[in-house]
Chains A and B, each alone.
Chain A
Amino acid sequence: MSFLRNYISTVYNSVRSLLIGMRRTGYYFTHHKEIITQNYPENRDQLNLPERFKGEVVMPHNDNNEHRCTGCTACELACPNGTIKIITKFDISPEGKKKKAIDTFIYHLELCTMCNLCIQACPTDAIKMAQTFEHSVYDRSEFIKTLNKPDSKLMEGVE
């Protein structure tokens, strides 16, 4: 007799919990408001990434085409895998003294791990992370970027 009671209660409990599970999926089937898929290429205008998102390293220039990079190569030393290569030159300042300045800031996007160590190391806040994430290109040489724009010079007042 207890075998029969166990048998029936097993069947009843199983069917009940299965139906509860089905009710949950049925709920999601009928409530379309819960759908969280975003139609990606169409909603590019509404996408706004958080300001701290680590996309790629850029050097901001102001309206007069000036940047804040003094060519100290602290970022090149801090980078773990050789993503940054800095080529320096010697500028003659108005008083006639030789001063080190940056010639080209080569940044290999294909090697960068977005670890943020270069930005931490920079003493003058010259570089920051941009929020771009669509980096695919057809030609690998487009990944080697020069971050300082041509004919740009150091901003006044930055040591």
Chain B
Amino acid sequence: MISVENISKGIHRTLSDHLSPMFTTLTELTIVGIFVLTLFAVLGLVLVFMERKVSAYMQIRLGPNRVGYKGLAQTLADTIKLVVKEGLTPNGADKFLFNLAPFIVMFGAMLLMAPIPFARNSQIWDLNIGVLYITAVSSISVIGILMAGWSSNNKYSLLGAMRSGAQIVSYELSAGLAIISIVVLTGSLKISEIIASQETGWWLFRGHIPALISFVIFIIAVTAETNRAPFDMAEAESELTAGFHTEYSGMRFALFFLAEYVNIFIVCAIGATLFLGGWMPFHIGNWAGFNHLMDFIPSSIWFFGKTFFLIFVIMWFRWTFPRLRIDQLLNLEWKYLLPIGMFNLLLMTIIAIMGWYF
């Protein structure tokens, strides 16, 4: 059967037959690098189009439907437009930092691709502290945002970048607590073991109430971390300008724009892995027949299906709710999400020790 696992094994066999081990590894690294870059590009295209169509249907209208067949080539047209625009550097801007900032944000997103499994046995890097790696690397993008705001030499960008930075740093706490509650249930930080432990059922269903609360907190926290509505005061269109990426135009703006959507994909992939079982099909306990039936659907389809479902939920949030003011946003985090998260972690630990889960 065609599966990601078989393809990667086949390539490895072919390469190691013809080349020395060092060259094999180098070639494989290059192939993986190209794969990640292509995935980024394709994801960017697909997600932007999906956002425009989802928002259109929720707003009782059609969305892009003229460029290409039923509007599918719309994002391509948008990308071409952004690429041919003039990339202006403002007058007093710190040139080195100004040019570096979009790359740092992309860099953080790319590093996070490594521990995520796309299909059975298809992880780029299965390290034994996978979850810790994810939480640590996701903080790198804050540096990029602050750099962008500072180096623009523009007081509104600075204001927007500071707000963004405060918001991201606060919500990482809640996201971390939600992730830890799943680690408590599994007993391991390694991602492949977390998925393997969901063989008899996804943690969202097996961990009942605390897992549900964790999941809700996780979704809210990652919406805030990626600066999406209802938490996008920092870059809101109807407020002062566009926040930290006001001065960016052309290709650099395209990189920020792309990085935002790829970030959404990554955090939804992490949520799908931890709470919804990653590539594990939907199994119910010991119903062998049902489980065997579910195994027929390829694991990569399960993974992408779950991730895109979570992306749809995040888009649903954006187009339904108004924006929170910056102080209300921080209020929500420190007074509501964090205490509930901590209490939930305690509850989850008790349940894990007593074995009160399915």
**Binding partners A and B:** yes
Verify A29–B57 contact, CB threshold 8 A. Answer: yes
| Contact A35-B62, Cβ < 8 Å, known A11-B336, A25-B316, A25-B320 | yes
Chain B residues, Cβ within 8 Å of A25: 58, 316, 319-320
Closest B residue to A8 by CB, please name it.
Answer: B340
Total contacting residues, chain A, CB less than 8 A: 15
Tell me, yes or no, whether B321 is within 8 Å of chain A by CB: yes
Give the 6 A-B residue pairs with the shortest CB-CB distance, closest first. Answer: A25-B320, A37-B62, A37-B61, A25-B58, A29-B57, A29-B58
By a CB distance below 8 angstroms, the chain A residues around B319 are: 25
Give the residue name and chain of the B residue nearest to A15 (CB).
B216
Contact A21 B57 (CB under 8 A): no
CB<8 Å pairs between A and B, sample of 29: A11-B336, A11-B340, A18-B321, A21-B320, A21-B321, A22-B316, A22-B317, A22-B320, A24-B320, A25-B58, A25-B316, A25-B319, A25-B320, A26-B316, A28-B57, A28-B58, A28-B59, A28-B60, A29-B54, A29-B57, A29-B316, A32-B57, A35-B60, A36-B60, A36-B61, A37-B60, A37-B61, A37-B62, A39-B62
Interface of B is mostly: helix
Q: Tell me the B16-60 residues at the A interface (CB within 8 Å).
A: 54, 57-60
| A21 CB contacts on chain B under 8 angstroms | 320-321
From A22, A35, A39, give the contact of B57 (CB < 8 A).
A35
CB distance from B320 to the nearest CB of A (A): 5
Tell me how far the C-beta of A24 lies from the nearest C-beta in chain B, rounded to whole angstroms.
8
CB distance from B157 to the nearest CB of A (A): 32
Contacts of B60 in A (CB 8 A): 28, 34-37
B62 (CB) vs chain A CBs: closest residue:
A37
Given contacts A34-B60, A39-B62, 4 further A-B contacts (CB under 8 A): A21-B321, A26-B316, A35-B61, A37-B60
Task: State the Cβ distance, A142 to closest chain B Cβ, in Å.
Answer: 28
A9-29 interface bits toward B, Cβ cutoff 8 Å, 1 = contact, 0 = none: 001000000100110111011
Bound: A34/B62 CA distance, A: 11
Q: In the complex, A22 Cα to B315 Cα: how many Å?
A: 11
Q: A35 to B58, alpha carbons, bound, how many Å? A: 9
Within A58-115, the residues touching B (CB, 8 Å) are none
C-alpha spacing A22/B318, complex, angstroms: 10
B321: chain A residues at CB < 8 Å are 18, 21
* A residues adjacent to B (C-beta < 8 A): 11, 18, 21-22, 24-26, 28-29, 32, 34-37, 39
Q: Kindly provide the distance from the CB of A29 to the nearest chain B CB, expressed in whole angstroms.
A: 5
Measured in the bound complex, the distance between the Cα atoms of B63 and A29 in whole Å is: 12
* Number of residues of chain B lying within 8 A (CB) of chain A: 14
Report Cα–Cα, A133/B63, bound state, in Å. Answer: 25
Q: Cβ of A39: which chain B residues have Cβ within 8 Å of it?
A: 62
Residues of B within 8 A of A24 (CB): 320
Q: Which residue of A lies closest to B335 (CB)?
A: A7
Q: How far is the CA of A22 from the CA of B313 in the complex (A)?
A: 10
Across the two chains, which residue of chain B brings its CB closest to A18? B321
Which chain A residues border B58 with CB–CB below 8 Å?
A: 25, 28-29
For A34, what are the chain B residues with a Cβ–Cβ distance below 8 Å? Answer: 60
Contacts of B59 in A (CB 8 A): 28
B57-75 contacts to A (CB < 8 Å): 57-62
**Closest CB-CB distance, A44 to chain B, in whole Å?**
16
Contact with A along B205-227 (1 / 0, CB 8 A): 00000000000000000000000
CB A18 to nearest CB in B, in angstroms, measures: 7
Q: Report Cα–Cα, A11/B337, bound state, in Å.
A: 10
Which residue of chain A has its CB nearest to the CB of B319? Answer: A25
* Nearest-CB residue, chain A, relative to B59: A28
| Residues in A neighbouring B320, C-beta threshold 8 A | 21-22, 24-25
Interchain CA distance A138-B54 in the complex, whole Å: 37
- With A and B bound together, what is the CA distance between A103 and B81 in angstroms? 54
Closest Cβ–Cβ distance, residue A38 to chain B (whole Å):
10
Chain B residues within 8 Å of A28, by CB: 57-60
Interchain CA distance A118-B50 in the complex, whole Å:
52
Chain B residues with CB below 8 A from A36, complex form: 60-61
Contacts of B316 in A (CB 8 A): 22, 25-26, 29
For B54, B57, B316, B321, the residue with the greatest tally of chain A CB atoms inside 10 Å of its CB is: B57
Chain B 334-348 against A: per-residue CB contact (8 Å), 1 yes, 0 no?
001000100000000
How distant is the Cα of A25 from the Cα of B322 in the complex, in angstroms? 13
Which B183-203 residues have C-beta < 8 A from chain A? none
Residue in A21, A35, A39 with the greatest tally of chain B CB atoms within 10 Å: A35
The complex places the Cα of A25 from the Cα of B336 at a distance, in Å, of 26
How many Å lie between the Cα of A114 and that of B59 in the bound state?
33
Shortest CB distance B230–A (Å): 10
Set of chain A residues within 8 Å of B54, measured between Cβ atoms: 29
Specify which chain A residues have a CB less than 8 angstroms from the CB of B57 in the assembled complex: 28-29, 32, 35
